[in-house]
Amino acid sequence: MIELTEGQEVALPVVDGKPLSKVQMAVGWDHAPTAGYIGSGAAPIDLDASAVQFAGGQLFDLAFFNHLATRDGSVVHLGDNTTGKGDSDDEVITVDLSRVYSKVESILFLVTSYQGHSLEYIRNAYCRLVDDSDTELARFTLTLGVRETGLVMAKLFRDGSSWRLGAIGTGIDLKSPTDSIEALLPFV
C-alpha cells in the first residue's frame, strides 16, 4: 500500500502481464463530535462519494447517490451512507477499467456535503483504492480541515493502455457533482 500526498501519482499494478481491470474507490469519514451548535450533537453530516468521467475535457458520465451507475455500467456506486458511522468504508464506488468507454480520459473522485456543511466538521476522511481481493493499493488521507463543502480527492487517468492514480486533495464549493461541472474541469 502506498500513502499518497497531494499531487503524487502512482501507476496501477500489472498482474501476470495484464493491467489491473477492476478497482474500488472507497471513502470514509467520521462526524466531528463538536459539529453543530455548541457541540449539541447535531445530526450527522451526510457526505457523498461521486465518480465523474471526462472525455475530451468535457463531462461524459457520472455515478453518485442520485445516479448509481454510468450508462455503460463501468462505474457503479454501491449505496449512500448518510451518517459516516462505523469503522469501515462509508461509501464505495466500483470501477471496471476494462469496460470504461475508450474516449474517457479521466475519472474524478469527489466527496461532497449534501446539506452544504463545511468539511471542517469531519475527521479521519480518506479515500483508498483496492483491487478485487480487497488489497489496498493506495490511500489518500485528508489531514487538514477543508472550509469548502466538497473535496476533489483523487483521479484515475489513462496513461497509454494503462491507468494511473493521482492524489488531488483540493477543497471545492459543491454539494453534489452536478452543481458545477465547470468547477471540476481544472482537475481533469
pLDDT value, residue 85:
57
20-39: average pLDDT: 71
Name the DSSP letter for residue 67: B
Judged by DSSP in three states, 7 sits in: coil
Query: Radius of gyration of the chain from Cα atoms?
Result: 16
Q: Which domain holds residue 141?
A: 2-12+20-187
| Model pLDDT for residues 102-117, shown as the tens digit of each residue | 999 999 998 888 888 7
pLDDT of residue 44: 64
Tell me what pLDDT residue 82 has. 54
**Predicted structure pTM score:** 0.84
Q: What is the dihedral of CA 32, 33, 38, 42, to 10 degrees?
A: 90
pLDDT value, residue 69: 96
Least confident of 68-77, 103-112, 135-144, 170-179: 135-144
Per-residue exposure over 11-41, b if at least 16 CB sit within 10 Å of its own CB, e if not: ebeeeeeeebbebbbbbbbbbbeebbeeeee
Checking if the pLDDT of 46 tops 80, the result is no
pLDDT, position 102 = 94
**1 pLDDT band (50/70/90 cuts)?**
low
Counting the structural domains of the chain, the total is: 1
pLDDT in tens, 176-188: 899 999 999 999 9
Residue 140: which CATH number? 2.60.60.30
